[in-house]
Amino acid sequence: MDERAKARLCFFAYILMLIIFDTAYSFMILNMFLAFAALELAFLLPLFKAKSKREIPVSAAFYIVFILLSPNVLYVITDLIHLKIFEFNFKKGLIVEEWWNFFVLISGVVLAIYYYILMLKQIHSLILHIKWSKTILLAFIILCSIGVYIGRFLRFHSIHLFTEPFSLVSQVLSSINGDSLLFIGWMSMLQFIMWWLFSDSRRNSL
């Protein structure tokens, strides 16, 4: 089974589990859908590579949409903060409900990490022969980190860049401080770690 088929199978199995079984993390349906949508767009990136000047507008539009959606993959990892709704007091014994929800949330996060690695592989293979490939990948990683910050703390979604662009930019600029830069830096470092650990260094050397 190739990576694309495996990613799709895992997505539909996970969503089906969320729909059928009771869980405190039903919001993961939307979050995983957005992450999966970004991955599917990543698989289509080679098809939208401009081969002539006429194709540049369509290619650019597709790449912009992909970049706007891509932070949704990393965003799922930050959903780990929702583990706090359970006590996880092991001294009280095994509480099945808590650990069922632990399984549900961690499964989604593991799947999101897998999606993220696949997405980076697609990007890297697309820009591998470009002179500034390292700079492009670094810029993408930082943009993803900024996107996660905007989504998690400012509560904006990708669509707001089109519906509320001035409000979004204004709030982002006013919120930039030492703490926000630290968060963006940590998220960027996390992405580098995942890429370094899980990518095939023989084929994807940076």
In tens, the pLDDT along 181-196 reads 999 999 999 999 998 8
Instruction: Report the distance separating Cα 181 and Cα 170, nearest Å.
Output: 16
Band (44; pLDDT cuts 50, 70, 90): very high
Of the candidates 145, 137, 130, which has an alpha carbon nearest to the alpha carbon of residue 195?
A: 137
- The answer, yes or no, to whether residue 95 has pLDDT greater than 70, is yes
> Who has greater pLDDT, 131 or 10?
10
Band (200; pLDDT cuts 50, 70, 90): low
Give Cβ neighbours of residue 105 (< 8 Å, ≥ 6 apart). Answer: 25, 28, 79, 80, 82, 83
Whole-prediction pTM: 0.89
- The answer, yes or no, to whether residue 55 has pLDDT greater than 80, is yes
Mean of the pLDDT values across residues 21-25?
94
Mean of the pLDDT values across residues 86-97?
90
Token digits of residue 174: 């006013």
Instruction: Output the average pLDDT for the chain.
Output: 90
C-alpha to C-alpha distances, 8 to 1, 118, 202, nearest whole angstrom: 11, 12, 26
Of the candidates 116, 135, 123, 132, which has an alpha carbon nearest to the alpha carbon of residue 191?
A: 116
C-alpha to C-alpha distances, 113 to 51, 58, 100, nearest whole angstrom: 32, 29, 20
